[in-house]
Structure 1
Amino acid sequence: MSKVPMTVAGEQRLRDELARLKTEDRPRVIAAIAEAREHGDLKENAEYHAAREQQGFIEGRIQEIEGKLSNAQVIDVSSMSNNGKVIFGATVDLINLDTDQEVRYQIVGEDEADIKAGKISVTSPIARSLVGKEEDDIVVVAAPGGEVEYEISQVHYL
């Protein structure tokens, strides 16, 4: 499997979730399974089956996170010198040339994307059109409502 780009914050969030799953959630479910077993007949024991199902979800998520972390290529843009070029991890201030509305996006990995927080996936149409461009460049983005033109007003390596 190829390396997947990830920001430092994205990696830390995954590591925190993994630690919580292993140290809090997994032991809690194991205790719930043990308690449900004490109730007797497992065939008709809903608590037991619910706890086993939850254990399956937790173990699956642990494997998923460990896989993502093993294939992650962590990129720390704050340690790079800012040359005004849009790269993975950069935060970009854009001006919509039709409406003069300003927006700010950080280009992040697919798992970190959260449009409400201003984080867009590196595979999104807008990020793909921005990567490699520089400050003051005009970028045309193919949006569902038609093409939108943006001017890159500033690039930050935060």
Structure 2
Amino acid sequence: MSTALPLTVSGAKRLNEELARLKSVERPAVIEAIAEARAQGDLSENAEYDAARERQGFIEARIKELEGALSNSQIIDPTTLDVDDRVVFGATVKLEDLESGDTVQYQIVGDLEADIKQNLISISSPVARGLIGKSEGDVVLIRVPSGEREFEILEVSYV
């Protein structure tokens, strides 16, 4: 029995847009590239053909991955939940590192949509697991690769 993958509304939208782009733009482009490479003749030493076929494999695998994930996902909108200002899936949390005084802001998202460069952290990450269920003003101790860190939750919002 497989469990549903949690996705935020915006994450599901981004994945659907990527799927549509792969099907309507990337797939036709790689098919055209394969046809052009085939037209050059001998396929045994045709690097363009090999590269296009490899790219086609990546595109088809990503399409299959996205279709599977989207069909097995549960879209969660935190704005519709009664959470009493607690940190839940989809929440955006502003934290202060009590040692350094630095502030960071993360949104807790599903594994498929996590991207640390955009401050989107996976629900299964140590930071997210340490924050779930906590409220504004709470101090949490979170184990990170460099050791344990104390953070104060400055703000919890649901977008």
- Stretch deviating more after TM superposition (3-12 or 42-51): 42-51
Equivalent residues in 2 for 1:8-47, closer than 5 Å: 8-47=9-48
Which string of whole-angstrom CA distances, capped at 9 and with x for unpartnered residues, describes residues 111-154 of structure 1? Answer: 22222322211111111010011122221111223221112122
Aligned structure 1 segments of 4 or more residues deviating by more than 6 angstroms: none
Name the CA shift for 1:69/1:51 in 2 (closer, same or farther; >3 Å): same
1:70-97 Cα offsets, whole Å, 9 max, x none, are 1111111133355211000001122222
Q: Distance in 1 between matches of 2:102 and 2:40?
A: 62
Q: TM-score if structure 2 supplies the norm length?
A: 0.90
- Cα distance in structure 1, aligned partners of 2:78 and 2:97: 25
| CA distance in structure 1 between the aligned counterparts of 2:68 and 2:48, rounded to whole angstroms | 30
Structure 1 spans left out of the alignment, 5+ residues: none
Contact 1:108 1:121 in 2 (8 A): yes
Residues 28-107 of structure 1: pairs in structure 2 closer than 5 A = 28-81=29-82, 83-107=84-108
Among the aligned pairs, what percent are the same residue? 56
Q: Secondary structure at the match of 2:128?
A: helix
Counting only pairs closer than 5 Å after superposition, residues 108-127 of structure 1 correspond to structure 2 as 108-127=109-128
Aligned CA RMSD, in angstroms, stands at 1.6
CA drift of 1:44 comes to: 2.3
What are the ranges of 5 or more consecutive residues in structure 2 without an aligned counterpart?
Answer: none
C-alpha distance in structure 2 between counterparts of 1:43 and 1:145, whole Å: 50
- CA 1:39 to 1:88, structure 2 compared with 1: closer, same or farther past 3 Å? same
> What corresponds to 2:7 in structure 1?
6
TM-score, normalised by the number of residues in structure 1: 0.91
Distance 1:48 1:85 in 2: 54
- Count of residues in Structure 1 that have an aligned counterpart in Structure 2: 158
